[in-house]
Amino acid sequence: MMPREIVIELGSEKAVARLLDDKAPKTCDLIWNNLPLESQAFHAKIAGTEIFFMVPLFQDEQENTTVEQEAGNICFWSTRQMIPIFYDKVPGLGPTTVWAKITENLKGIQREGRKIWMREGVKVRISRRERR
């Protein structure tokens, strides 16, 4: 089966991410079944090169957790119902579910991430990538 993919529209950038169905199946299903999701993107104040946005979803069970984050990791932080996107490597603040990984246009997300550090609240939309 082909891996499921999502499109991330962040400000003026568009990127693609692959869902980690084999590692975080419950979180992947939760997000996938609620797409498209729209919100406002903010920048982490403590964690480093991380942007995040809120979604009206709860997922208490953590899966595929990691503390140290790599560029392109897309996570779920249950405490605040947030989806964090790490656009560069960071040591991390605590264990977080990693449920997707950016596979196309990470550089665009990095450009937008640096802009969001200067001015927050840009629109973000994640949707299913439909295959032709």
Q: Which region, judged by CB under 8 A, interacts with another protein, from 5-13, 56-64, 95-103, 124-132?
A: 56-64
Helical spans, DSSP H, in 19-72: 25-32
Q: Name which of 74 and 124 has its Cβ closer to another protein.
A: 124
**Measured distance CA(116)–CA(120) in Å, rounded:** 5
Q: Name which of 21 and 63 has its Cβ closer to another protein.
A: 63
**Measured distance CA(117)–CA(44) in Å, rounded:** 8
**Distance of alpha carbon 85 from its chain centroid, rounded?**
4
**Measured distance CA(6)–CA(49) in Å, rounded:** 21
User: Using the rule CB under 8 A, which residue among 40, 66, 103, 127 binds another protein?
Assistant: 40
Strand partners, 124: 10, 39
Q: Name which of 68 and 123 has its Cβ closer to another protein.
A: 123
Q: Which region, judged by CB under 8 A, interacts with another protein, from 14-22, 62-70, 86-94, 111-119?
A: 111-119
Q: Which residues bind another protein (CB under 8 A)?
A: 38, 40, 42-43, 45, 54, 56, 58, 60, 79-81, 117-121
